[in-house]
Amino acid sequence: MLSNPLNTQWRHGHLGNLMGLALRRFDSRVLSLMAHNVEVPLALSNLAARQQVSAAHVHITRHLPPEGARLTELASLAGMSKQAMGDLVTQCEAWGLIQRAADPLDARAKRVNFTAIGMVWLKAFEAAVAQAEAEFREEVGDTVATVVKLGLEAYTAHSQASAQGAISPLFGTTLQKTTVGDKHAHTDR
């Protein structure tokens, strides 16, 4: 038996856990705002209010391009398996958010597209995200919010593509590795 028990505090305070908690809080706030948005069709706002719409469903809202996508493309964009995305698509299709249609480039394939109701949902999602971001800025301050966003952009640039040439949507500048370690710099200033 160990005389000094293992310190397990790191499990709750590490960056990955904190980012996960922040994402769950952010998504929860977005869905809450959507549940109370008068522009969202009543059936969908009721689903959101009763927490029937989850963060998993938000993957479709975040990742489905307005022009639509094949299921495999959508799953890849969301970082999910094709089967898991297929289940979400089936559920969202039943809610009237999206529809499957023949792919004009490949008769064997289907494309997933937003319906008219889905486009209303997407606009409401945009407004809810903007409000949740504004609330985050108000809570932590503009400087911290900007640093967090820049840091996350730089960190996620590695998984989306090489950090070389990745564009910051916040400032429209290029993120590049510096010559020291894995730090990133905005090079277009």
Span 26-55, pLDDT tens digits? 988 998 888 888 877 777 777 776 676 776
d(CA 15, CA 22): 10
**Fold of the 18-140 domain:** Arc Repressor Mutant, subunit A (1.10.10)
Q: What is the predicted pLDDT for the residue at 107?
A: 85
Extents of the domains making up the chain: 18-140
Name the residue among 37, 17, 84, 31 with its Cα closest to residue 61: 31
Average pLDDT along the chain: 81
Phi-psi region at 187: left, alpha or beta (left = phi > 0; alpha = psi -120 to 50): alpha
On the question of pLDDT at 121 being above 90, the answer is no
- Cα distances (angstroms) measured from residue 174 to each of 125, 154, 157: 27, 10, 11
DSSP 163: S
- Cα distances (angstroms) measured from residue 7 to each of 12, 14, 86: 11, 13, 42
Q: What is the predicted pLDDT for the residue at 9?
A: 82
On the question of pLDDT at 89 being above 60, the answer is yes
| % of the chain beyond a pLDDT of 70 | 79
Phi-psi region at 103: left, alpha or beta (left = phi > 0; alpha = psi -120 to 50): beta
108-137: average pLDDT: 93
d(CA 155, CA 147): 12
Q: What is the predicted pLDDT for the residue at 160?
A: 66
Q: What is the predicted pLDDT for the residue at 128?
A: 92
| Confidence band for 178, pLDDT divided at 50, 70 and 90 | very low
On the question of pLDDT at 165 being above 60, the answer is no
Paired residues of 129 in beta bridges: none
Q: What is the predicted pLDDT for the residue at 116?
A: 93
Q: What is the predicted pLDDT for the residue at 55?
A: 67
d(CA 27, CA 42): 20
